Amino acid sequence: MALSVGDKASRSKTFGDEDVRGFAQISGDTNPVHLDDAYAAQTRFGRRLVHGMLTASLLSATLANDLPGEGTIYMSQTLQFKAPVFIGDTITATVEVTAYRADRRIATLATTCVNQDGVVVVQGEAVVLAPHDRQG
């Protein structure tokens, strides 16, 4: 069946110290608010933060693996970082089709990440090239 407005998928991940350190190494973002407990304790957050872009990458994983799925190509993504994500938080990324142009296979999806307490931490919109109509 084809993508339809309202189609939705989610996936969750608990972000740990190893995730944050690995992302810092790969991205080059070594801001001490992510890596240094003593430094982070002196900030307004009081403890280390997970990188915002690492958190948002869970949206990419959901798009690529779940909806629309394998072969999906990003065209654009907007992001608003609404609340901090701390080491040990479990984040659930949800994508929901808000528009689909079947003739061009272009899907627009609302993208949201919430923490284990239901607080929205990242919100935005993705536009992707869907690989093909999904088979149901």
Domain positions in the chain: 8-129
Beta-carbon contacts of residue 99 (< 8 Å; ≥ 6 apart):
5, 107, 108
**Superfamily designation of domain 8-129:** Hotdog Thioesterase (3.10.129.10)
Q: What is the pLDDT of residue 136?
A: 45
* Tens-digit pLDDT string for the chain (136 aa): 589 999 999 999 999 999 999 999 999 999 999 999 999 999 999 999 999 999 999 999 999 999 999 999 999 999 999 999 999 999 999 999 999 999 999 999 999 999 999 999 999 999 999 997 544 4
Q: What is the pLDDT of residue 12?
A: 98
Q: How far is Cα 133 from Cα 128, in angstroms, rounded to an integer?
A: 13
Beta-carbon contacts of residue 109 (< 8 Å; ≥ 6 apart):
63, 67, 95, 96, 97, 98, 125, 126, 127, 128
* pTM passes above 0.85: yes
